[in-house]
Each structure stands twice: as C-alpha cells, then as structure tokens.
Amino acid sequence: MRAEVITVGSELLLGETVDTHSAYLSRECFSLGVEVVFHTSVGDDQARLMEVIEQAHRRSQLVFLCGGLGPTLDDLTKETLSDFLGIPLVRDPAVVTALEEWFQGRSRNIPSNNYKQAHVFEDGVVFHNAHGTAPGLAVSKDGVTYVLLPGPPRELIPMFEQQVRPYILDTFASGQALVSEALSFFGIGESLLEETCKDLIEANDNPIIATYAKEAGVTLRLTARAATESAARELIAPIKTEVLKRTGDYCYSEREEPLEEVVMRSLIQQGKTVAVAESCTGGMLSHLLTSMKGSSQAFMGGIVSYSAFSKEQVVGVPEEILEQHGTVSSHTAEALAERVREQFATDFVLSVTGVAGPDEVEGKPVGLVFIGLKEASGPVRVYRLQLRGSRRRIQLQAAKQACFILQQCLKKGETTR
C-alpha cells in the first residue's frame, strides 16, 4: 500500500518550523508495512492545498494531512478536503462537549471561533485530542483514506500512538491479521541497537523490524502479518526472544510506555518508596516520577538543592566535601543521597548533581553528571556520566538515567532485604 504525508502551514515554507512529522510518520508506517512514497509541505493557501490533495488522491491509498485543524481563519485543511471529496462537515456534540470541558478546566471562556473545530466528516472517524483542542479525523472515498492530524507534535504523536496506529492496523489488514509489538530501550543508542540486530532486520520481512529514536530512549517495533492474530504473534515471538537475548539489559518495557511510569509501577507493586535530591535537573526528576497517577504511593518527596548554600544548609552536605570536591562530584552525590535518606526514611534515594551548561562549573565540563542511588541499607552507588546536547537535553537525559538506574535495580531484585 502506498502512503504519503502532507504537512500544512506557511511557517514550514518560511523556515520558522521544521517538519518532523514526515520523518516520524514514515518510520511508523514502515514498521506497519506501509510504504510512504511522497512528502509534501504546502502553505496556508486553499488553492495550493487543493492541488496537493488532488495529486495525492491519484497516487496514494493512505494520505496523512498534518496541521491546519485549529480555530483560526487560515486553518483550512478539513474544509478544503471536504470540498474536494464532496463530503459535508457536521457539528459533533461530543467534540463540542470536549472543547467546553477543556476551556472550563482552565477557567477560561471558550472563544466562539473554537467551535469550528467541532465540525467533522459525516460518517468519518474522530480521534480524541487529549493534549489540545483540535480532534484528529479520518475519512475514506474512492479507495483512498485520509487521516488528519493536529500540527503540534505534543498532540500528534500521542494521538497517532494511541488511536491512529490501531485504526490503521484494523483498516488495512486486507483479510489478514496485522500485529505490532514494541520494545522500549534506554542506555543504548539507535545506531548500536540497529547494528546489534542488523542480521535479524535484514533477514526478516515478516515480521518487519524497525528502530527509531525518541527524545530519550529508543523503540524497536516488530510487525507481522498472518492469517490470524495468534499466528502473527507466533512469527514475532522468536525474533523478540532473540532481540531480548542480545539487548535485554537495556530493555525496560515490552510495551511502549514512559520509563518513569515503569519505575513507579514497579515501586508500587513492590511496596517500596523513593525520595530524590536534585541539583542540575532542577526538579525534572521529581516531575517525571510524579507524572503517573497514584505516584504518591511511592514518591515521598524531594529537595531541589541547586546552590552550594542549599546543599550545605538545607540538605546537610558537609562543608568540607563541597570545599574539597566541589558541588559536582561523586562525593557530593553520595552525601546528597545519604542526607536525604536520613530525612525521608525511604527505601531508595536518587541524587543528581552535574553541569547542564552552557558553561563549565568549577572547571568541570558541560554534561558531567553524577547520580547516586541509596538503598535503606548499604552504601551509596554513584554513577558517572558524560552527557551531550543542549542544556534541556542534558537535564532530561540525567533525569531519565536516574530513573533507569533505579529501574534496573528493581528489575534485578536488588532491593532492600
């Protein structure tokens, strides 16, 4: 099956926004056995968008349209497609309710132009937007299916992963069961993961094996076609086993889910608690660990000790450690974990101190990070990292690495006896 991706927005043509959607959707489609043959970007011009849609209709069976679903006058994607297909747009009461609840939850009156987003294709499919106001849509005519997705990545990606991918699997099964399973990795780069599994990738086209990097971590997806779902899963099983045999130390989940959710679920299931002491991550680790519903069962609290003063006066790191070794050191990471363990009395404590950038600190390079892991009994284990990237990326990688260190400990059963 041939597919193509059309990204809509004048900001793409002006260079103000980089099109990441085409690459993302192409990788996802490849993992589903769908061939993407064209990428097109078009501005907010109805005549030009109509021309691009006409081309896509002649040459593809699946067309993604990204962007142009919002409330403003230049958001014309679904209106243009409606005119081209001759399928009217109708007001969807469920979308109206979702819009009104979205604005009520933010104590704001809904601007009248937002109701434009409640118009959907008659007899089409609506994908709920949990992270914004514009729903996604799907509609088919003349053997071509159009999937319309919101422009912001924070809305498009979860919508695709949670709703659109299952829709594609169901819609284009062609009399066969199409099954996709994902493995989530951390601590191994995409290129190394691919190299480690290169022979498996090259030797198999059913299941298809595809890797792709996320903001923090890597996903490997296996997709198989067979007469039945169970037969498709039987095709996946031996390949999955071999992948895990080679790279299992880096795999934190056999489902596509955030690392921090895996960590918190493991803590809750094991009846364990954790507290944190953060410096360079500035509260990001606490944010990740509390992003899952029910995290209060395991997360007892934390301290963001960003300055030397707070490390000494609030947390209780001895002055001589800071003077002799500096705020960024294994000794400081160890002391932070020890002192916070005394204050919170948790089963685990994670500590993070480092240089997020853009400048060196105490003569230490950008990206140098120390992570401490303290159990209720036993010494603090300190991990030294040299991370790369922007300030935000270093902070995120450090916070995720701390989660991974704790997850590995929980996974291997290295818990307090």
**Domains of the chain with CATH codes:** 2-172 (3.40.980.10), 178-253 (3.30.70.2860), 259-411 (3.90.950.20)
Give the β-pairing of 299-304 and 35-42: unpaired
pLDDT value at 242 more than 60: yes
Q: Among residues 188, 192, 163, 198, which one has the least CA distance to residue 252?
A: 188
What residues contact residue 128 under an 8 Å CB cut-off, 6+ apart?
Answer: 98, 135, 159, 163
Q: Among residues 264, 262, 213, which one has the least CA distance to residue 393?
A: 213
Q: Is the peptide bond before 152 cis (omega within 30 degrees of 0)?
A: no
User: What's the average model confidence in pLDDT over 111-128?
Assistant: 95
Cβ-contact 169, 180 below 8 angstroms? yes
User: What's the average model confidence in pLDDT over 27-31?
Assistant: 87
pLDDT in tens, 182-193: 999 999 999 999
pLDDT in tens, 245-260: 999 999 999 988 899 9
Q: Among residues 205, 309, 187, which one has the least CA distance to residue 196?
A: 187
Cβ-contact 6, 42 below 8 angstroms? yes
Q: What is the predicted pLDDT for the residue at 417?
A: 30
Question: What tokens does 284 get?
Answer: 């990001």
- Which pLDDT band, with edges at 50, 70 and 90, does 377 fall under? confident
What 3-state DSSP class applies to 66?
strand
Other CB atoms within a 10 A radius of the CB of residue 296 amount to 12
Q: What is the predicted pLDDT for the residue at 414?
A: 45
Question: What tokens does 128 get?
Answer: 């709920």
- Which pLDDT band, with edges at 50, 70 and 90, does 398 fall under? very high
Q: Among residues 40, 52, 33, 55, which one has the least CA distance to residue 7?
A: 40
E strands, 67-168, in order = 89-91, 119-121, 125-127, 136-141, 144-149
Distances (CA, A) of 67 to 92, 147, 288, 374: 20, 11, 29, 47
User: What's the average model confidence in pLDDT over 154-178?
Assistant: 89
Cβ-contact 370, 330 below 8 angstroms? yes
Write the Ramachandran bin of 130: left for phi over 0, alpha for psi from -120 to 50, otherwise beta.
Answer: alpha
Q: What is the predicted pLDDT for the residue at 416?
A: 37
Distances (CA, A) of 370 to 316, 361, 387: 18, 14, 11
What 3-state DSSP class applies to 117?
helix
Q: What is the predicted pLDDT for the residue at 144?
A: 97
> Chain-wide mean pLDDT for the chain?
94
Cβ-contact 130, 158 below 8 angstroms? yes
Least confident interval from 23-37, 77-91, 148-162? 23-37
Question: What tokens does 5 get?
Answer: 């991706």
Q: What is the predicted pLDDT for the residue at 255?
A: 84
Record the pTM: 0.76
Share of the chain above pLDDT 70, in %: 99
DSSP state string for 163-186:
IIHHHHHHHT-TTSEEEEEEEEE-
User: What's the average model confidence in pLDDT over 118-134?
Assistant: 95
pLDDT in tens, 282-327: 999 999 999 999 999 999 999 999 999 999 999 999 999 999 999 9
What residues contact residue 145 under an 8 Å CB cut-off, 6+ apart?
Answer: 61, 62, 63, 138, 139, 171, 172
Q: What is the predicted pLDDT for the residue at 413?
A: 63
Q: Angle between the 77-85 and 46-59 helix axes, to the nearest 10 degrees?
A: 60
User: What's the average model confidence in pLDDT over 253-282?
Assistant: 95
Question: What tokens does 210 get?
Answer: 């595809």
Residue type, 365: P
Distances (CA, A) of 263 to 239, 368, 411: 26, 24, 9
Q: How far is 38 from 3, CA to CA, in rounded Å?
A: 7
Total H helices, total E strands in the chain: 16, 17
Other CB atoms within a 10 A radius of the CB of residue 146 amount to 26
Question: What tokens does 356 get?
Answer: 């997020």
| Lookup result for tokens 């953060």 | 278
User: What's the average model confidence in pLDDT over 62-88?
Assistant: 96
b/e burial code for range 201-213 (CB count within 10 A of at least 16 → b): beebeebbbbbbe
User: What's the average model confidence in pLDDT over 354-360?
Assistant: 96
pLDDT value at 175 more than 80: no
